[in-house]
């Protein structure tokens, strides 16, 4: 299979006074095109740092990161912005919708940066909203939507440009059980359509029936890399027992 992401001995080190914090501590892994990978861990495990580096929102202190065959670990800000716009769609826990824009205009924003024509932006936005079941809400403002509808709008925004990689950061963290099921079904559907998905979460129940592979993070390291079902073989593992408790 074609490799989409390669982490090669990635470190991210912060200095807080006299204390050195290794938010990412010698992380290496590979993700192939078309995979669905979950990166899980408790608060402070380093998964957010890992997500920021994958999403080209931050750069490592050392090591190499290849995205689509390109070494992004040494790119400048303009180069990073271009590859981020071309390669990535983001779904955040807080939705990050602009209140003054309509639902359709929010979905169009990444397309504006990609220099799509006005007509194509609208066409793609409406198609993405149709996919998430919100075409009838295209002219509404985010404040007129429920939390689940706002997150589905955020998913439409992430997929409108048809990026090869979708990065979802705790996408169900603010949702009730019903909307969590809707969002996880949407993500699974995108994966089955050929998108590569990386899901960042502290809740293994969200990925219980979806991810190909689970990377468990603890203290800045990847301490487990296995299919979810394999994690259950060692239920008393010190890194995973708290996470496994969340799976019904």
The backbone torsions φ and ψ at residue 239, rounded to the nearest 5 degrees and listed phi first, read: -85, -25
Give yes or no for residue 234 having a pLDDT over 80: no
- Sheet strands side by side (includes 221-226): 88-91, 165-169, 196-201, 36-40, 213-218, 221-226
121 burial level (CB within 10 Å; 0-12, 13-18, 19+): buried
Q: What is the mean pLDDT of residues 18-23?
A: 88
CA dihedral sign, ordered 170, 175, 180, 186:
negative
Q: What is the mean pLDDT of residues 174-203?
A: 86
Q: pLDDT band for 10, please (50, 70, 90 cuts).
A: very high
The backbone torsions φ and ψ at residue 43, rounded to the nearest 5 degrees and listed phi first, read: -55, 135
What is the pLDDT at residue 199? Answer: 92
Q: Residue 124 in contact with residue 106, Cβ under 8 Å?
A: no
pTM for the complete prediction? 0.87
Distance CA 248, CA 244 (A): 9
Output the CA angle 11-13-17, nearest 5 degrees: 170
Q: What is the mean pLDDT of residues 43-52?
A: 90
Neighbours of 208 (CB within 10 A): 16
Helix intervals (H) in the chain = 47-54, 77-87, 103-113, 118-131, 147-159, 177-192, 228-231, 241-244
Q: pLDDT band for 244, please (50, 70, 90 cuts).
A: low
Q: What distance lies between CA 83 and its chain's CA centroid? A: 16
Q: Residue 11 in contact with residue 58, Cβ under 8 Å?
A: no
199 to 104, 169, 214: CA distances (angstroms): 25, 6, 9
Q: What is the mean pLDDT of residues 195-211?
A: 82
When the pLDDT of each residue in the chain is averaged and rounded to a whole number, the result is 87
Residue with tokens 């925004």: 157
Percent above pLDDT 70 for the chain: 91
What is the pLDDT at residue 190? Answer: 87
Q: What is the CA radius of gyration of the chain?
A: 18
Output the CA angle 138-166-77, nearest 5 degrees: 100
What is the pLDDT at residue 175? Answer: 81
Tell me the DSSP string of 117-169. Answer: -HHHHHHHHHHHHHHTT-GGGTTS-GGGS-HHHHHHHHHHHHHTT--SEEEEE
Residue with tokens 């010698």: 26
Give yes or no for residue 134 having a pLDDT over 90: yes
Residue with tokens 């090591």: 63
């Amino acid at each position: 299979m074609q490799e989409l992401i390669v982490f090669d001995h990635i470190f991210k080190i912060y200095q807080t006074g006299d204390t050195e914090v290794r938010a990412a501590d010698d992380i290496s892994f590979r993700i192939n095109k078309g995979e669905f990978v979950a990166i899980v861990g408790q608060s402070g495990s380093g998964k957010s740092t890992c997500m920021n580096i994958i999403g080209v929102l931050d750069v490592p202190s050392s090591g190499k990161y290849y995205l689509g065959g390109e070494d992004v670990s040494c790119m400048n800000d303009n180069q990073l912005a271009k590859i981020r716009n071309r390669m990535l769609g983001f779904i955040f826990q807080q939705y990050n919708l602009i209140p003054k824009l309509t639902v359709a205009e929010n979905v169009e924003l990444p397309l504006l940066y990609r220099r799509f024509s006005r007509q194509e932006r609208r066409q793609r936005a409406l198609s993405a909203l149709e996919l998430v079941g919100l075409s009838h809400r295209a002219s509404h403002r985010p404040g007129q939507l429920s939390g689940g509808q706002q997150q589905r709008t955020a998913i439409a925004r992430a997929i409108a440009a048809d990026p090869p990689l979708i990065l979802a950061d705790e996408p169900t963290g603010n949702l009730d059980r019903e909307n969590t099921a809707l969002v996880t079904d949407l993500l699974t559907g995108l994966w089955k359509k050929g998108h590569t998905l990386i899901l960042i979460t502290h809740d293994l129940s969200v990925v219980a029936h979806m991810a190909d592979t689970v990377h468990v993070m603890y203290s800045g390291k990847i301490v487990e890399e296995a299919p979810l079902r394999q994690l259950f073989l060692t239920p008393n593992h010190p890194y995973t027992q708290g996470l496994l408790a969340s799976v019904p």
